[in-house]
Structure 1
Amino acid sequence: MKTAVKLRVQGECPSHSLSEITVRDTGLKIDEPVERGGTNLGPTPTDTALAALIGCTNVIGHKCAASLGLDIGKLDISAVCDFDRRGVTLEEEIDVPFQRIALKVITSNAVSDTDLVRLAAEVAKFCPLAKLFRQAGTIIDEEWVSASA
């Protein structure tokens, strides 16, 4: 297996706010809401970044659970971000726009608290999106909850 690969994404941008993204044979639209001059055809770029964190937590969470021998079932994941908008409004440069993310992960199967702590630690080590946010200075407060809680 290759240890390094090129990720390829193409974007066509027919307006100042709309980006039509193609990845492999699928795609998505990234846009701004109407009140900010967009057409609201998709999530904003910042919303998309949070969505990517949720998707990555799901994929890496299941891989880590399998490596630990845990049956976590499906995950319900939410992310709430304290976002400093001064940068995107061009008011001033902001070093850490995504200041804090509250990430809540709920397993559908019962998992012990001890196993949830182990799982969360493994996901933190291997989730590239969580690493990207943390290395940029974002604080991620994770709460892992079992269906039995």
Structure 2
Amino acid sequence: MATQTKPIITMKMGGEADTHALTKMKVRDLSISTDEPVERGGTNTAPSPTETMLASLIGCTNVITQKIAAKHGIDVLGLKIDVTAQLDRRGVSLEDEIKVPFPEIDLNIELTTRGDDTDVAVLQMDLSKYCPISKILRESGTKINESWTISRP
């Protein structure tokens, strides 16, 4: 009998402010931090919270693409993901309440696969359906421009 997984799980994380810019957090048995660059009063020891959001998009794109590929028997031989984002700084600088902090994100995906065009189309279609970080950003009003470059060995 297959083990059933719960559809909704509880995730917990805690953090403590070391300084006004440096936050140290724990999740599972891991430690992570966010910080600001020196020019914004930080110590530049970790990515900023907004950079961490973009890193989460890259990580989620990798994980979900790989899961989709495995589900459909598509070989992923290489995957490179780059993000360029527009950030409306008026919110983080307390100038104005901003409804959409990231108005636009360019998500560039370089995929090396033996899969055919139909396989690639499955990856492209399902990625936006299943990546939770992408969904959060899109639902907030962010326009994500996905650009796929496909190469085959």
Instruction: State the TM-score bracket (shorter-chain normalisation).
Output: over 0.9
Q: Which residue pairs with 2:78 in the alignment?
A: 74
Matching of residue 124 in structure 1 with residue 142 in structure 2: no
Percent identity, please.
Answer: 45
- The answer to whether 1:50 aligns with 2:36 is no
Structure 1 unaligned segments of length 5 or more: list them. none
> Matched residues in 2 for 1:111 and 1:141: separation?
23
Deviations along 1:69-93, one digit per CA (max 9) or x if unpaired, are 2101231101110111111111111
Q: Structure 2 residue aligned with 1:9, among 5, 10, 13?
A: 13
**Does the alignment pair 1:40 with 2:44?**
yes
1:108 Cα shift?
A: 3.0
Letter in 1 for 2:75: D
Runs of 4+ in 1 over 4 A off after TM superposition: none
Partner SS state of residue 113, structure 2: coil
**Contact 1:116-1:144 at 8 Å conserved across structures:** no
Letter paired with 1:97: P
Instruction: State the TM-score, normalizing by the size of structure 2.
Output: 0.92
- Aligned amino acid, residue 136 of structure 1: S
Per the alignment, residue 135 of structure 1 pairs with: 139
Which residue, 33, 45, 49 being the options, matches 1:29?
A: 33
Q: How large is the Cα RMSD of the aligned pairs?
A: 1.4
Residue 47 of structure 1 and its aligned partner are, at CA, apart by 0.2
Length-normalised TM-score, structure 1: 0.94
Q: Which runs of 5+ in 2 are unaligned?
A: none
Q: Which amino acid is the alignment partner of residue 104 of structure 1?
A: N
Distance in structure 2 (CA, Å) of the matches to 1:142 and 1:17: 32
User: How many residue pairs get matched?
Assistant: 149
The correspondence for 1:96, drawn from 73, 78, 100, is: 100
Contact kept? 1:111, 1:146, Cα under 8 Å: no
Stretch moving more, 112-121 or 51-60:
112-121
Query: Per-residue deviation at 1:94?
Result: 0.8
Q: Which residue in 2 is equivalent to 1:64? A: 68
Letter in 2 for 1:4: I
**AA partner of residue 101 (structure 1):** I
* 3-state SS of 2:76 partner: coil
Contact 2:86 2:104 in 1 (8 A): yes
